Amino acid sequence: MITIGCFHAHYSNIELIEEALSSYEVELVHYVDPGLDRLKHDADFTEAVTHEKVSQTLQWIAHCHADAILVTCTLFAAVLGQEAQHVPIPVAGIDDPLLQEMQRNPGEYILAFTNPATIEGTMARVNQALQQEHKDGQRNEIEAVETDAVLIPGTFELIMRGDKEGYLAAVSAGLQQLAEQYPDSTVVAAQLSMAPAAARVTADTGMLIYSPLASLATYLEKNLSLKRRYVLSS
């Protein structure tokens, strides 16, 4: 059985990942550190602090007998391009399936956020993924993809203080409004904590909202060779 170390910024993400991967033979070990989110507004806070903390934690999780690492916080995932290459085991970011989806299906994407501190890093990661270098050194810019970031204001503090229902309601309303405002675009709930709201809007209105959980399981199944659990029928 493969062991995945899951690096979270908030405890609420544990349940979402456990449920998403419940049909696979996998051990999930969770590491939660809300510290960077608490420090990000300090006057002396810099990106170097994020790099150092993420690097240390990735190395620690790898040392603790993990076979792979899943980083579920977009603030952490934003620096994986530099830090993951120093880790001796596979490292996946929560937005990796989205980046792959955008590469395969050009179009207009509206990335919705609740945490303003994750926008700049995530969008830089998106832009980098859309300008991959070929092995021959040629740039392959996917010009047919257009992206825009939108903040749903006044919501992130709700989840950080444990108001899950208030967060779900506010984010659902924000995502539905964006879907109505941009009917020709793919609206994306860019953070894992927004996934239940995306599912609610899709179920209630029929308007598809892409979330980090939409293709995470199949992405990890392919890239980490996860095996499905087989339940014997009676």
pLDDT in tens, the chain (234 residues): 899 999 999 898 999 999 999 999 999 999 999 888 788 878 888 889 989 999 999 999 999 999 999 999 988 988 888 888 899 999 999 999 989 888 888 899 999 999 998 898 899 889 888 876 433 344 454 457 889 999 999 999 998 888 999 999 999 999 999 999 999 999 999 999 999 999 999 999 999 999 989 899 999 999 999 999 876 555
The pair of structure tokens assigned to 139 is 């740039």
Give the pLDDT of residue 29: 98
Query: Span 2-93+216-224: which CATH code?
Result: 3.40.50.1860
Q: DSSP class of residue 182?
A: -
Every domain range in the chain assigned CATH 3.40.50.2300: 96-210
Reported as type and span, the H/E element at residue 58 is helix 47-63
Give the pLDDT of residue 145: 80
Give the pLDDT of residue 232: 56
Give the pLDDT of residue 136: 39
Tell me how far apart the terminal alpha carbons of the chain are, to the nearest angstrom: 25
Distances in Å between the Cα of 225 and the Cα atoms of 2, 26, 55, 219 are 9, 10, 25, 9
Every domain range in the chain assigned CATH 3.40.50.1860: 2-93+216-224
d(CA 174, CA 179): 9
CATH C-level class of 96-210:
alpha beta
CB 92 within 8 A of CB 219: yes
pTM assigned to the model: 0.87
The alpha-carbon radius of gyration of the chain (Å, integer) is 18
Give the pLDDT of residue 234: 52
Q: DSSP class of residue 64?
A: T
Residue whose token pair is 């590469």: 103
177 C-beta neighbours (distance < 10 Å), count: 15
